[in-house]
Amino acid sequence: MLMRGVLKKRQALLFDIDGTLADTDALHIEAFNAVFGPFGHAFDRTRAARELLGRSNVSIGAEFLPHERPERRAAIMAEKEAVFRSLAAGEVQPLPGLMTLLDHAEAASIPVVAVTNAPRANAEMILHGLGIADRFRAVIIGDELPHGKPHPLPYLEGLRAVGAMADRAVAFEDSRAGITAATAAGIATIGMRTNLGHDDLIAAGAAMTAAAFDEPEVLTLVTARLGGAA
């Protein structure tokens, strides 16, 4: 059990959204293939994990649509996100144990923040679809900042939004870019094995990995990091 009682200043739990709160990666890959296919690109899960997932739309557009004008790249990426939202509507389910961990955080008055490279429309759709939008004190969007993941700025903004310190926070991520961003911000990061395996997540910098949020090791690390008693 996480620490209960009065809000402990400077603590926070920070979550990526896609592939972390919900396993939406297959839907993103389907959307990418539908929109990027005419440009000669095709992605399976392995290639997508290596080259797409967790990255900002700006960086994806620059790499895979190099001959398109910036405004055309943005339009193509917007089309991809619209396809994703149509596929995901009513289909998202939380990863195992998520509600348990959020309940513990709420009982302990620990602020919860979402940090994502997804467009705000996607982020809000998933949070509302999971019925957890009101659990999050802030939603930080990488593409609304000067730098998205893998730059640490989105996580630094997430900490700032709730007055938290990196050494009293834990992040949850499923991608290399996300883990790189969180760890560069000084936050201990748990890699969720929705997309990458244990070895890849650890190599990216995760402190540990998990398949579910309510695994005992997850709660132990969170409690230790946030200064509570198990």
Residue 196, SS3?
A: coil
Beta strand residue intervals within 120-204, DSSP E: 138-141, 169-173, 188-192
Residue 211's CB: how many other CB atoms inside 10 A?
A: 13
Nearest Cα residue to 170 out of 199, 131, 210: 210
Backbone angles phi, psi at 86, to 5 degrees: -70, -35
Is residue 214 within 8 A of residue 100, CB to CB? The reply is yes
Q: How many CA atoms lie within 13 A of 43 on its CB side?
A: 24
Nearest Cα residue to 56 out of 140, 164, 138, 156: 140
Positive or negative CA dihedral for 216, 217, 220, 222?
Answer: negative
- Residues with active-site annotation: 16, 18
Residue 93, SS3?
A: coil
Is residue 32 within 8 A of residue 48, CB to CB? The reply is yes
Is residue 152 within 8 A of residue 181, CB to CB? The reply is yes
